């Protein structure tokens, strides 16, 4: 099986209303970096690839056949408090303040402008099983 560099066997693919603005949010809030884009003949985003460190996701403009999707993502960061503040400044709504969890993460949650939930987590322990 072949998987392109930067992609995983399962890669998140988000359809968003206002994909251009949503991509800007992901860059501002979480430090995503655009690595590729294709545009439809009418100028809409057909596909945009963004990397988050070692992970790639894809974003496309929603349409009638492919309406806006909603999902939840678990994002590991170096500093959960700082990442939560950055996401809020970029337009996310806090749904859970960052706190230490019994499974070894400091975690908070935000809802992004497209309605997706991002669990922002900082690993506090080296124990892989909690």
Q: What is the pLDDT of residues 93-106, one digit of tens each?
A: 999 999 999 999 99
* Tokens coding 66: 């492919």
Could you read off the pLDDT of 61-72 as tens digits, one per residue?
Answer: 999 999 999 999
What domains can be seen in the chain, in order of their start residue?
Answer: 13-123 (3.10.180.10)
7, pLDDT greater than 90: no
Could you read off the pLDDT of 42-82 as tens digits, one per residue?
Answer: 999 999 999 999 899 999 999 999 999 999 999 999 999 99
Whether the full predicted model's pTM is greater than 0.85, yes or no, is yes
The sign of the torsion formed by the CA atoms of 40, 37, 31, 106 equals positive
130, pLDDT greater than 80: no
């Amino acid at each position: 099986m072949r998987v392109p560099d930067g992609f995983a066997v399962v890669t998140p693919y988000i359809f968003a209303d206002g994909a251009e603005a949503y991509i800007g949010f992901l860059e501002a809030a979480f430090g995503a970096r655009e690595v590729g884009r294709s545009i439809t003949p009418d100028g809409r985003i057909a596909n945009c690839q963004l990397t988050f460190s070692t992970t790639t996701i894809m974003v496309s403009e929603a349409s009638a056949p492919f309406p806006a999707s909603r999902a939840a993502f678990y994002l590991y960061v170096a500093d959960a408090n700082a990442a939560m503040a950055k996401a809020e400044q970029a337009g996310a709504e806090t749904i859970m303040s960052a706190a230490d969890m019994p499974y070894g993460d400091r975690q908070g949650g935000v809802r992004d402008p497209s309605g997706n939930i991002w669990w922002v987590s900082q690993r506090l322990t080296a124990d892989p099983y909690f």
